[in-house]
Amino acid sequence: KLQRVMILTSLSFTSHKASPVAQSKAARMNVAKSGYRVFSANSTAACTELAKKITERLGVELGKSVVYQESNRETRVDVKESVRGQTIFIIQTIPRDVNTAIMELLVMAYALKTSCAKNIIGVIPYFPYSKQCKMRKRGSIVCKLLASMLAKAGLTHIITMDLHQKEIQGFFSFPVDNLRASPFLLQYIQEEVPDYRNAIIVAKSPSAAKRAQSYAERLRLGLAVMHGEAQCSESDMADGRHSPPCVRNTSGHPGLELPLMMAKEKPPITVVGDVGGRIAIIVDDIIDDVEDFVAAAEILKERGAYKIYIMATHGLLSADAPRLIEESAIDEVRYRCRIFISDSLLQQENNPAATGNVNYYVDCN
């Protein structure tokens, strides 16, 4: 009798198949039971596209939320579903309005925290204010301030890519995954750069030498370093070269005399390494203001490099960067400069003149 009951029960289950609506509801329940959800921190094209790609790859649905600016420019976030006890991933790209993007991330993280989310993980491909990670005279380390704000808002983990300095991870009180774009850039060099064995990796400043050395060692190529006044990527007036002033301090103990402080003076632009008849590949983490890159390309051209590639992870391309590249002297002398950046930022969002493809190129022929 027991066997008969089990057979009849199994037949009844197999004869009544679930409808498509029920199957979709079951699938959503399975996603919820998986313990994690993915939310987009804003409704911009860049963030929406990245969030859709991630959720499609994971096979889950994008979390329901509304992020908008009120008439007085205050940021408001409404989470439209329960996140209690779940691990939440917040996708946030950084558009041109950096401060608004930061507020969106902070407000959403705090909203999820007050909704009893178990873990809140921020996925931020380009971490803003990463250049302000050092003390400049009487300024402040804004990157550390931002790390403290994110922790206070409720974030428990961050996934980012190619921080400006690896030491930035020490500013956070929670784990940070600093992913690398170098494997993709190395693959591009090997597959797309003709005769890359005749190339040389170039660091456009001494601070970028360590990154360039890593590329050179992996590709088994030579290394060149540029240094000089025009190659400083950060503000020269704020680096302390004129502080303290060049005066002798006579105050204090009469028998103690401090030495005279000399102001810094950088030499003219020079290239350490032979680039003549070679393909020069400049690698960096951020392309923002392109004046330094244009000047570096001119110097490399004068030293005999016949082709120049510029590769970076984050293509901010602020202000008139594409126009400056196209209207530079490189174009006038029919010299080729190719720029390759990853898709950590959607170029249409940050610069209307950009192409918006996954790989963004600027060719100057």
Q: Within a domain: residue 26? A: yes
Same domain, 35 and 123: yes
Tell me the C-alpha distance between 202 and 216, whole Å: 9
Contacts (Cβ under 8 Å, ≥6 apart) of 328? 294, 297, 298, 364
3-state secondary structure of 122: strand
Q: Which domain holds residue 335?
A: 182-232+268-364
Q: Are residues 199 and 340 in the same domain?
A: yes
Query: Do 218 and 354 belong to one domain?
Result: yes
Residue 345's pLDDT is 64
Q: What is the mean pLDDT of each run of 10 residues along the chain (365 residues)?
A: 39 44 48 75 83 92 92 92 94 88 95 95 94 87 95 96 92 95 91 92 91 94 86 49 54 64 74 92 87 86 89 82 65 47 58 40 40
pLDDT, residue 44, reads 80
What value does the CA radius of gyration of the chain take, rounded to a whole number of Å?
27
Q: In terms of domains, do 307 and 216 share one?
A: yes
Do 171 and 89 fall within a single domain? Answer: yes
Is 332 inside a domain boundary?
yes
State the Cα–Cα distance between residues 36 and 33, nearest whole angstrom.
Answer: 8
> Both 297 and 162 in a single domain?
no
CATH code for the domain of 278: 3.40.50.2020
Residues 224 and 166 grouped into a single domain: no
In a domain, 36, yes or no: yes
What pLDDT shows up at residue 317? Answer: 79
Contacts of 300 (CB under 8 A, 6+ apart): 202, 226, 271, 275, 280, 282, 308
- Residues 169 and 215 placed together within one structural domain of the fold: no
pLDDT at position 230 is: 57
| Residue type at 182 in one-letter notation | S
240: Cβ–Cβ under 8 A, 6 or more apart, which residues? 136, 137
Residue 241: inside a domain, yes or no?
no
Inter-residue long-range contacts of 97-102, CB under 8 Å, 24+ positions, other chains counted: 98/128, 98/129, 100/69, 100/75, 101/41, 101/42, 101/128, 102/128, 102/146, 102/149
Residues 333-342: b if buried by 16+ CB within 10 A, e if exposed: eebebbbbbb
The model's pTM is 0.75
The burial of 196, by beta-carbon neighbours within 10 Å (0-12 exposed, 13-18 middle, 19 or more buried), is given as middle
Q: How many domains, the chain?
A: 2
Same domain, 322 and 223: yes
Identify whether 130 is part of a domain. yes
**Is 335 inside a domain boundary?**
yes
Q: Please check whether residues 75 and 29 belong to one and the same domain.
A: yes
Please report which residue ranges of 59-116 form alpha helices under DSSP H: 98-114
Assess whether 194 and 156 both reside in one domain.
no
For residue 248, the model assigns a pLDDT of 55
Structural contact between residues 332 and 363, judged by C-beta atoms closer than 8 angstroms: no
- Tell me, yes or no, whether 4 lies in a domain: no
Residue 252 lies in a domain: no
Residue 153 sits in the same domain as residue 191: no
Tokens of 319: 């202000």
> Which of 155, 179, 203 lies at the terminal end of a domain, its last residue?
179
